[in-house]
Structure 1
Amino acid sequence: MRRARAADVVIAGGGLHGLSAAIHLANAKLRVVLLEKDRVGRHASSANAGGVRRLGRAIPEIPLAVAALDLWHNIENLVDDNCGFQQSSQIKVAEDLVEFAALEQRSKTLRDAGYFHEEIIDGNMLHQLLPQVAKHCVGSMVVRGDGHADPFATVKAFHSKAISLGVEVREGAPVTQITRAEGNWLVQADTTCFEAPILINAAGAWGGEIAAMMGDLIPIEAQALMLMITERIAPFLSSVVGAQGRALSFKQFDNGTVLIGGAYKGHVDIRTGRTALNMKQLAANAHAAITVFPLMRNVRVIRAWTGIEGVTKDRLPIIGPASEKGGFHLFGFSAHGFALSPLSGRIIADLICSNQNNWPTEAFSHARFTA
């Protein structure tokens, strides 16, 4: 029988969270093997809208989003690349007074919790800030200092940095079996078995399968979330815009193209990793964009695509130790994990290297599902 290859840490999953963990652990001089069944960043990591936001976060996520934003403003210190990060306002518009009241209540809830980054502005200020927004919009919530980055450039930078630090990245190497032997994890991937005292499950939409191999039953749903991009039009927007009453993520790039999303679902086969567009849902997404920005009515869509995301029941991620010693989970970010990726790997690395956690992650324990 061929002897297992030794490592300090094995990571299952080569999306941004797995790569982030690999970078932080390699910086701590650990020998890291990262196993990716397809290619790094193939799914949600490179196929998302690239939002870096505090706006609209669930309260348990806000401390992480704040800390991660600081890392984004200095992302070159982590991965030697700016990842296309740009600072911009994040805005959520209200189309009627009921929606505006909901935004005001949300703002009050955050202030009561000690957070003051979400600002309420009335209709006059909104139309000064967004001259092309629909006339019926009555106000909005604004967060200044958030931003967005380029997902493809970010994946490339994280991958390159991990390689430069000596991380062994294996693509086309799906994990097929996980067992325990003398306190170590034995991880079978393709034709090779790896042995390590530490195993990190960063498998995204496939995180539930890896968790089950590790002894934890964690429910997660695979969703194929769609995005589309338009032809180039004259610049009219520098902020990232969403809506309180409808699913929408909307921004314009420097080249004039407009990215439109909002977590509208396509079709997915999790067994094969294949996806297909849902044209009715794309039409609904386009209608949302036109309703909030009427100037988009005659703009052509030139491309649309999907990314496979793992979504938990409460739409909060799984971050922290597994049930078995030496195991860790880092998945289930439910379509809002891109912004957290520089920090998520650091959280796991701190737990591994010093058994310390400087961030409140109790709400992200897998025990909320497996207890």
Structure 2
Amino acid sequence: MNARADVILIGGGIFGQFAALTLAEAGRQVVLIDRAALWGEASSVNAGSLGVQNKLLELVPYARWSWEMWSRMAELLGADVGVSRAGGFRIAMTDVEAERLRVSALAQRATGLDVRLLDRGDLRAETPWLSREVVAATFSPEDGYASPTLVGPALRAAVAGAGVRIVEHARIASVRRRDGIEVETDRGAFRSRTLGITAGAWSAQCAAMLGVTLPIALDVNMVAVTESAPPTIGAMTSHARGILTLKQVANRSCLIGGGWQGIGTLDDRRKEVDYDQLVHNLRLAVRVVPGLACLNILRSWAGYEGVTPDSLPYLGRLGDYPDVFVGACARGGFTLGPLFGRLLGELIATGKTSRPIDLFNPRRFEYVESAHD
């Protein structure tokens, strides 16, 4: 298999697919390459949260802009993907965490986010399903969720329908700049004028093939799902310290996620549930929502998340190369993916973006070891 295109994108998650759609809409011929199946890694294994108030302050405006796309996702993809925007809570269980929430809410309001602080009295009246261990919370009607299981097939169909050439299960052997871009894989060679790296946690490995060190750490996040249950979780809920996410979805199952880490490495593609850590996650979930205690866990899984040193994504040109770009590693990438994928596509197609991206310049950390012409 050999092909020429205007743009090659490496990585078929939410960043890569929305970038591919944007480029195809701009009239570019695109080849989208993935080492596994499209939507097979972080994009498919997250808990589906579309949170705004649980984002770093710098990312709150971007999460709100991304919601402009999520609110039209059924129209954009031609399918119902389970988008719900019923609002969400961010909870505190100590006075220190409550103060953190108060300060955070004030800063978020300054960005335009609709967010309200609730004290113990408010919580008892409005959220009887929350434990009395919860001492304070914030509520924003701008939080919500979608189904990664539904988004994946719909997005793939849209990408294929736009004329993007999809190449799956292709291991990258080399990336070189030689009269354009040349990507060698075990499924053939692909050539283009421009390259976009949207490979998530693997983006550092792709950048290294071009002599650029791009710092990315690896998180192995875990999610558990319960049996179908009566109303148990009143709205999407996250913890002030980022160690818990809870939601009850349309089929009435409850999803439990958070910052508790599984076991895995990129080298052997291992990602496994660490049951000792999962137990801590589940215990915390029951402390926050006691109604979860009587439910059975049906399934649990782990997935990769690439993390930059400042937890802000990479979006921009790679190194000194005018024809190589990277878009990867957003905390809350499911929420932000449609917007950041579109911005990457705009940058590649036109050299400019509809939203500011200077904050995410990959050169803030990268180190160019050698030039490959």
Query: Could you give the per-residue CA deviations for residues 53-87 of structure 1, whole angstroms, max 9, x where no partner exists?
Result: 21122122122111100111111232212311111
What is the DSSP-based 3-state SS (H/G/I as helix, E as strand, rest coil) of the residue aligned with 2:108?
Answer: helix
Stretch of structure 1 that moved more, 277-286 or 4-13? 4-13
Query: Could you give the per-residue CA deviations for residues 20-49 of structure 1, whole angstroms, max 9, x where no partner exists?
Result: 111111111111000011101111100001
- What corresponds to 1:108 in structure 2? 106
TM value normalised by structure 1: 0.94
- What corresponds to 2:173 in structure 1? 176
Instruction: Provide the identity percentage.
Output: 29
1:246, 1:288 within 8 Å by CA — same for their partners in 2? Answer: no
How many Å apart are 1:245 and its aligned residue? 4.7
- What corresponds to 2:362 in structure 1? 366
State how far apart, in whole Å, the 2-side matches of 1:64 and 1:116 are.
11
Which residue identity is paired with 2:112?
Y
What is the DSSP-based 3-state SS (H/G/I as helix, E as strand, rest coil) of the residue aligned with 1:87?
Answer: coil
- What corresponds to 2:259 in structure 1? 263
Q: Does 1:300 align with 2:296?
A: yes
Q: Does 1:77 align with 2:108?
A: no
Provide the alpha-carbon RMSD of the alignment.
1.6
TM value normalised by structure 2: 0.94
- What corresponds to 2:240 in structure 1? 244
- What corresponds to 2:24 in structure 1? 26
2:33, 2:170 within 8 Å by CA — same for their partners in 1? Answer: yes
State how far apart, in whole Å, the 2-side matches of 1:31 and 1:367 are.
28
Q: Does 1:155 align with 2:152?
A: yes
1:175, 1:190 within 8 Å by CA — same for their partners in 2? Answer: yes
Q: Does 1:217 align with 2:213?
A: yes
- What corresponds to 2:308 in structure 1? 312
2:173, 2:184 within 8 Å by CA — same for their partners in 1? Answer: yes
State how far apart, in whole Å, the 2-side matches of 1:114 and 1:16 are.
26
- What corresponds to 1:43 in structure 2? 41
Stretch of structure 1 that moved more, 150-159 or 245-254? 245-254
How many Å apart are 1:142 and its aligned residue? 1.0
* 5+ long unaligned stretches in structure 1: none
State how far apart, in whole Å, the 2-side matches of 1:90 and 1:292 are.
14
1:88, 1:238 within 8 Å by CA — same for their partners in 2? Answer: no
Q: Does 1:234 align with 2:261?
A: no
State how far apart, in whole Å, the 2-side matches of 1:254 and 1:350 are.
34
1:9, 1:196 within 8 Å by CA — same for their partners in 2? Answer: yes
State how far apart, in whole Å, the 2-side matches of 1:350 and 1:68 are.
15
- What corresponds to 1:142 in structure 2? 139
- What corresponds to 1:14 in structure 2? 12
- What corresponds to 1:343 in structure 2? 339
2:232, 2:292 within 8 Å by CA — same for their partners in 1? Answer: no
1:175, 1:187 within 8 Å by CA — same for their partners in 2? Answer: yes
How many Å apart are 1:246 and its aligned residue? 6.3
Q: Does 1:197 align with 2:193?
A: yes
State how far apart, in whole Å, the 2-side matches of 1:190 and 1:348 are.
27
Which residue identity is paired with 1:76?
A
1:63, 1:360 within 8 Å by CA — same for their partners in 2? Answer: no
* 5+ long unaligned stretches in structure 2: 368-373
State how far apart, in whole Å, the 2-side matches of 1:218 and 1:138 are.
41
Query: Could you give the per-residue CA deviations for residues 152-201 of structure 1, whole angstroms, max 9, x where no partner exists?
Result: 2111111110001111101111221011112x111112241111111000
2:243, 2:258 within 8 Å by CA — same for their partners in 1? Answer: yes
Query: Could you give the per-residue CA deviations for residues 230-280 of structure 1, whole angstroms, max 9, x where no partner exists?
Result: 122211334110122561100112322110010321111312212211011
State how far apart, in whole Å, the 1-side matches of 2:87 and 2:166 are.
36
Query: Could you give the per-residue CA deviations for residues 260-306 of structure 1, whole angstroms, max 9, x where no partner exists?
Result: 01032111131221221101110000011011112222322111001
- What corresponds to 1:290 in structure 2? 286
1:63, 1:359 within 8 Å by CA — same for their partners in 2? Answer: no
How many Å apart are 1:129 and its aligned residue? 2.7
- What corresponds to 2:370 in structure 1? none
Which residue identity is paired with 2:360?
F
2:8, 2:30 within 8 Å by CA — same for their partners in 1? Answer: yes
What is the DSSP-based 3-state SS (H/G/I as helix, E as strand, rest coil) of the residue aligned with 2:18?
Answer: helix
